[in-house]
Structure 1
Amino acid sequence: MTQTSTPRAWTESPHSRCQFYRSMCSLPTVIDPATGRITMRAGFVGAVMMPTELGQRVKTSLDLRGVAPLSIVGHPRAEMWTFLVRTDIRPIGDPAEVARLWKARVVVIRDGDIALPSPVVDPLMIRTWVSPATSAFRPSGAVVIECALSILRQIGQ
């Protein structure tokens, strides 16, 4: 019996994935030396995190509007989705709308680290791509928030 191995050029590593994120997706990623996680600092790119069920509705609505491609990170154990967005979200003046988002567990990430999926096998399935980053396109964060608010209003939340 002969043993075959995957050619080195076809083997993906956190380093090669990080390079892809930087060069093809314009994501300012780094590899955390302590954990090996791929992260990026929010600022140039932001994020909107929400429960999976609401995220699915928001994605469908954005797909119907032709807003694509979307970059969405799934957190299966937490049942949350994170949309990578442009950082154009302005403060919401209406306290009722802020409360609606808070109650629905919608979080805007403007500062801090955002962790991205890594090619390393993750037995705990902490992060995975729902819709992988494939380009530098990011939807407007304001549009994602407004879409979430519209859906929350429709379902009476």
Structure 2
Amino acid sequence: MDQVALAETPAARCAYYRHTCDLPAGFHPAIGRIIVRAGFVGAITMPAALGQQVHDDLIHHRNPLGPIISHVRSKRWTYLIRPDLPDDVRLFAELFRLNVSIVPIGGEIALPSPADVHAGLREWIVPPQNTFRPSGVAIVDTVRVCRNAGLR
């Protein structure tokens, strides 16, 4: 994250995301947001409390963590993933009932930008430091484990 902290302009931050993390990031000056279009990278968004449970379960089982974004105001977390989830209506319905969503191909994934630090919009829970992103299937499986643990 030290390199991201040093990237205090949108252009520098985008360059870091692109070159170090292999995230095809672009900057929209009109809205002041750095985004990635889902496709090459995927994303799963969930309530922060569930996101924390998933995070803790992954650590407990010694699974590597990939990049995780906190959407501070909406209290949601987004896990950046490898886009290996099936296009399955039953899966989307199951996750919808848990208030979890998969960003569709072509959808925008907002990444933390230098301006977000002062606005309290987005921040990294686990910053990207390289090209690693966990399997989307593994994150969904962990969501299920955490959900089932909460039902006991």
TM-score (normalised: structure 2): 0.87
> Cα distance, 1:65 vs. partner?
2.7
Structure 1, unmatched stretches of 5+, are 1-9
Aligned mates of 1:103, 1:109 — CA distance in 2: 16
Q: Give the one of 124, 131, 144 matched to 1:129.
A: 124
Q: Which residue of 2 aligns with 1:23?
A: 19
Instruction: Note closer, same or farther for the CA distance 1:88–1:124 as it changes in structure 2 (3 Å cut).
Output: same
Q: Deviations over 1:134-156 (max 9, x none)?
A: 11000000000111011112212
Q: Give the one of 103, 107, 123 matched to 1:109.
A: 103
Within a 5 Å distance, the mapping from 1:38-77 to structure 2 comes to: 38-77=34-73
Q: Which residue of 2 aligns with 1:4?
A: none
| SS of 1:138 mapped into structure 2 | coil
Structure 1: 4+ residue segments shifted above 3 A: 97-100, 121-124
Q: Mean alpha-carbon deviation: is it higher for 21-30 or for 114-123? A: 114-123
Q: Deviations over 1:72-100 (max 9, x none)?
A: 0001110100000000012457x5x6554
Q: Deviations over 1:82-130 (max 9, x none)?
A: 000000012457x5x6554222210011321111001125443111111
The residue type equivalent to 1:90 in the other structure is P
The residue type equivalent to 1:79 in the other structure is K
Q: Which residue of 1 aligns with 2:3?
A: none
Aligned mates of 1:147, 1:86 — CA distance in 2: 15
Aligned mates of 1:92, 1:11 — CA distance in 2: 38
How many residues align? The count is 146
Question: Greater CA radius of gyration, 1 or 2?
Answer: 1
Structure with higher helix content: 2
Superposed CA RMSD in Å reads: 2.0
